[in-house]
Amino acid sequence: MVLSKFVDELPIPPMLRPVWRRGGQSYYEVRMTQFRQSLHRDLPETVVWGYNGSTPGPTIEVESGESAYIHWINDLPEKHLLPIDHTVHGAHHDVPDVRTVVHVHGASVEWESDGYPEAWFTRGFQQVGPYFRKQVYHYDNFDRACTLWYHDHALGITRLNVYAGLAGFYLIRSEQERQLNLPSGEYDIPLMIQDKTLKSDGSLYYPDQPDKPVPGLKTSIVPEFFGETITVNGKVHPFLKVEPRKYRFRLLNAANARFFRLQLNSGQLMYQIATDGGLMEQPVGVRSITLSPAERAEVIIDFTNMEGRDVVMTNSAPAPFPTGDMPDGGTAVVMQFRVNRPLQHIDTSVIPATLSEVPKLLPQNAMMERFLTLDHHLDHYGREVMLLDNKHWDAAITENPRLGATEIWTVINTTPDAHPIHLHLVNFQILDRRNFDVASFQKTGIVTYTGESEPPAPQERGWKDTVIANPGQVTRIIMTFGPYSGLFVWHCHILEHEDYEMMRPFVVII
């Protein structure tokens, strides 16, 4: 259905207050529940899942180095809001339908607190998965100032739990960042961008079958889910009233499968200041930003001297990316900025010429290079199943870097789609991408390059935790494993892929 645009104001998620904070330590409680929330003026309220009664959940803000404890509490009903496919890994009939486990995306944490997909727990911790270790998670927050996000990660139902609403922002701040005098306070706004399909009764639609239904299966996972409309912070095509001054926006693609290519219809530049893992060395002026699921970019948008103007943020990314359908009326528009608030104070914030230091990881320091394929297969129902290095989730662990070791992971994408590849625990840097001959690789197993090596785009030159691996390309990333050892995962962040085998454990060994 067609929903009027720009009729609801952009909600800003509430800030989570700690239960206590003293001496560099803090303790939080976050409860997952089912409730109703209005996603659009003209629709009845939608039954959603969220954290502390809101979706997106409350924004968690910590100081770099703060030792935070979070008690994630599942208070959800026993019946799932959305259709479960009991044939996918980890979601068989031998486990309860409603399972949750929280992962702070991009954070470096001990493995027991990382939200391992089989560390799930049910309401009141009545049942727990085989890798569940503790009720209260601990985060050291060693990371630089950055925009992280937390979301559900339960094996086989992550796509449903996140789509139901289980996602929120997790911001790390630091003194170094404050010194930069970036737009701050009410001028520093997180934007969680998602796609949803809403029925006329307001309820969330998620398909129980692919376009071509699978005979013999009541409910089947779909290859990718693309919603018909765009929400920002949980509202359909909202508007934000702004002052004629600079703003800092933290853009997050929290969609299941849709990529976004974001642009402003005023044609003005956005000044990107941060990638997934925090501030870049210098700001980069960009007219468009492509974000795959889970990627973030922080930008400064300057509305100075634009009194009375309306600026629309648009999306032009095909779905599936990069060769699918172009977005239509419901998905080509993201939100609107209305420059109609009077300037409250003179804008003294700046776009600094230098932001931070990003020391380069050097390929010659890598102890190991791993060659890992992205593969496309059909299962015995004739459904697409995507694999990492031709291995299923349950296969023996093959990626076992040593604590402190620097490695290069060379990702060889033999599929027709782009996949956002995400590693837990570490931030990495993108070395390069290079076209190769897929057909010849599939015959011989030998990579034959058909183009020159391309450096990462200027807006990717910083710390990353998710990288777009384009079809027909080899993408190389470099990282140092630590500071924790233990069991983590790497996966495609298209949630339908991750839920159906495109995820693998890795272990950092001592």
Of the listed pieces 54-62, 198-206, 234-242, 490-498, which binds Cu ion according to CB under 5 A? Answer: 490-498
Residue 199 CA neighbour count, 13 Å, CB half? 8
Contacts with Cu ion in 416-435 (CB under 5 A)? 419
Cα 249 → chain centroid: 16
Of the listed pieces 12-20, 296-304, 403-411, 489-497, which binds Cu ion according to CB under 5 A? Answer: 489-497
Extract the runs of DSSP E, i.e. beta strands, from 398-460.
Answer: 406-413, 419-423, 429-435
Comparing CB distances to Cu ion, the nearer of 293 and 327 is 293
Comparing CB distances to Cu ion, the nearer of 386 and 431 is 386
Three-class SS of residue 410? Answer: strand
DSSP string, 341-371: SPP-S-------S-----PPPPGGG-SEEEE
Cα 298–Cα 502–Cα 394 angle in degrees, nearest 5: 135
Of the listed pieces 15-23, 176-184, 268-276, 492-500, which binds Cu ion according to CB under 5 A? Answer: 492-500
Minimum distance from residue 210 beta carbon to Cu ion (Å) = 16
Minimum distance from residue 58 beta carbon to Cu ion (Å) = 30
Q: Is 223 within 8 Å of 383 (Cβ atoms)?
A: yes
Minimum distance from residue 383 beta carbon to Cu ion (Å) = 14
Contacts with Cu ion in 391-420 (CB under 5 A)? 419
Comparing CB distances to Cu ion, the nearer of 144 and 464 is 464
Cα 9 → chain centroid: 24
Tokens found for residue 410: 């060379």
Separation of alpha carbons 179 and 292, rounded Å? 31
Minimum distance from residue 99 beta carbon to Cu ion (Å) = 22
Comparing CB distances to Cu ion, the nearer of 196 and 419 is 419
Minimum distance from residue 420 beta carbon to Cu ion (Å) = 7
By the rule CB under 5 A, 494 interacts with Cu ion: yes
Minimum distance from residue 57 beta carbon to Cu ion (Å) = 25
Comparing CB distances to Cu ion, the nearer of 103 and 497 is 497
Comparing CB distances to Cu ion, the nearer of 30 and 412 is 412
Going from the C-alpha of 443 to that of each of 384, 437, 440, 448, the distances in angstroms are: 20, 10, 5, 11
Q: Is 279 within 8 Å of 144 (Cβ atoms)?
A: yes
Minimum distance from residue 17 beta carbon to Cu ion (Å) = 37
Minimum distance from residue 466 beta carbon to Cu ion (Å) = 11
Separation of alpha carbons 377 and 415, rounded Å? 9
Give the number of residues in contact with Cu ion, rule: CB under 5 A: 4
For the sheet with 260-264, list strands across it. 239-242, 333-339, 310-315, 260-264, 288-291
Separation of alpha carbons 186 and 462, rounded Å? 26
Minimum distance from residue 415 beta carbon to Cu ion (Å) = 8
Comparing CB distances to Cu ion, the nearer of 340 and 414 is 414
Comparing CB distances to Cu ion, the nearer of 113 and 470 is 470
Comparing CB distances to Cu ion, the nearer of 122 and 292 is 292
Please, what's the largest Cα pairwise distance for the chain?
65
By the rule CB under 5 A, 503 interacts with Cu ion: no
- Listed in sequence order, the DSSP H helices in 157-257 are 158-164, 175-178
- Residues in contact with Cu ion, shown as a per-residue x/- string from 449 to 488 under the rule CB under 5 A: ----------------------------------------
Separation of alpha carbons 352 and 30, rounded Å? 36
Comparing CB distances to Cu ion, the nearer of 96 and 318 is 318
Give 136's strand partners.
71
For the CA atoms of 328, 1, 12, 109, what is the dihedral angle to 10 degrees?
Answer: -70
Tokens found for residue 288: 């468009």
Cα 496 → chain centroid: 13
Separation of alpha carbons 64 and 61, rounded Å? 10
Minimum distance from residue 267 beta carbon to Cu ion (Å) = 33
By the rule CB under 5 A, 221 interacts with Cu ion: no
Comparing CB distances to Cu ion, the nearer of 460 and 501 is 501
Minimum distance from residue 497 beta carbon to Cu ion (Å) = 3
Q: Is 367 within 8 Å of 407 (Cβ atoms)?
A: yes
Considering only residues 289, 492, 503, 508, which one is a binding residue for Cu ion as defined by CB under 5 A?
492
Minimum distance from residue 14 beta carbon to Cu ion (Å) = 33
Separation of alpha carbons 366 and 261, rounded Å? 33
Q: What are phi and psi of 495, to 5 degrees?
A: -65, -30
By the rule CB under 5 A, 383 interacts with Cu ion: no
Comparing CB distances to Cu ion, the nearer of 246 and 497 is 497
Separation of alpha carbons 75 and 30, rounded Å? 10
Comparing CB distances to Cu ion, the nearer of 40 and 497 is 497
Tokens found for residue 77: 């009903």
Minimum distance from residue 475 beta carbon to Cu ion (Å) = 13
Residue nearest to Cu ion (CB): 492
By the rule CB under 5 A, 497 interacts with Cu ion: yes
The residue ranges that bind Cu ion (CB under 5 A) are 419, 492, 494, 497
